[in-house]
Amino acid sequence: MMDPQIHTGDLLLCSGSGWFSKMIQAATASRWSHVALVLRLDAFDRIMLLESVEPIGVRTVPLKQYLENYDQKGNRYPGEMQIMRHRDFEARVHQDRLATLGRFAVDRFGYPYDGQQIAEIAARITLNRMAPDIMDQFPPPLQTDAPQAYICSEYVAACYAQIGLKIPAGTFGFTAPADFAQHEAIDLIKTL
């Protein structure tokens, strides 16, 4: 049975343990390294996650996979997980706007994970640690209007933008999982 507390538009935030997860966590002073968008499919008795993961790219998986079989060996996701909700999501989503968000999200299934953006982020984080006083000389990478690849947080931010919800980019010029967790209109619903 599906958890009635979890709604379409909610966010799954995860704290990973891989090297890039640790780098994102350190750079953003947050435990969060991954974010996914929740889609309830009541007719199928499923809660799905829309996400972008390395090396696969944009995909959908059941939330149940994170809880019961993340590694295909019967183990749950190896880190903390929380469900969060933007207070304005339901107020902004009328049927037509939800369809716009859904089409945008689904039309990007199969887009690759943005390895170039990851390299740029890693370089900016490293530069900031080594020489924080010169960071102003290196502007954040420019975001294109129609990216063809996504990191997790940029994908979810782009989905939210379809219904007019903006998650501002953080210090390093990209939207990180921490930016969702720290947003004043996003509240904790439950820890998984």
User: Reduced to 3 DSSP states, what percent helix, strand and coil does the chain have, rounded to the nearest 5?
Assistant: 40, 20, 40
Statement: residue 141 has pLDDT above 60: no
Q: Which helix (H) or strand (E) holds 129?
A: helix 115-130
Statement: residue 51 has pLDDT above 60: yes
pLDDT digits (tens, 9 = 90+) for 142-175: 454 556 888 899 999 999 999 999 999 887 678 8
pLDDT digits (tens, 9 = 90+) for 130-139: 555 655 555 5
Task: Determine contact, residues 155/3, Cβ cutoff 8 Å.
Answer: no
182 token code pair: 């720290």
Q: Rounded to an integer, what distance in angstroms lies between the CA atom of residue 10 and that of residue 27?
A: 25
pLDDT digits (tens, 9 = 90+) for 84-103: 999 999 877 776 788 899 99
The ranges assigned to domains in the chain are 11-191
The closest of 88, 50, 84, 83 to 165, measured between CA atoms, is 88
Strand ranges for the chain from DSSP E: 11-14, 34-41, 46-53, 57-62, 81-86, 186-191
Q: Rounded to an integer, what distance in angstroms lies between the CA atom of residue 71 and that of residue 77?
A: 7
Q: Rounded to an integer, what distance in angstroms lies between the CA atom of residue 176 and that of residue 137?
A: 22
Q: Which CATH architecture has domain 11-191?
A: Alpha-Beta Complex (3.90)
132 token code pair: 């924080």
Across the beta sheet with 186-191, the strand order is 57-62, 46-53, 34-41, 11-14, 81-86, 186-191
180 token code pair: 């969702």
Q: Tokens 């490293």 belong to which residue?
A: 126
38 token code pair: 């929740």
Residue type for 86, please? H
pLDDT of residue 133: 62
Q: Tokens 């924080």 belong to which residue?
A: 132
Q: Tokens 């390093």 belong to which residue?
A: 172
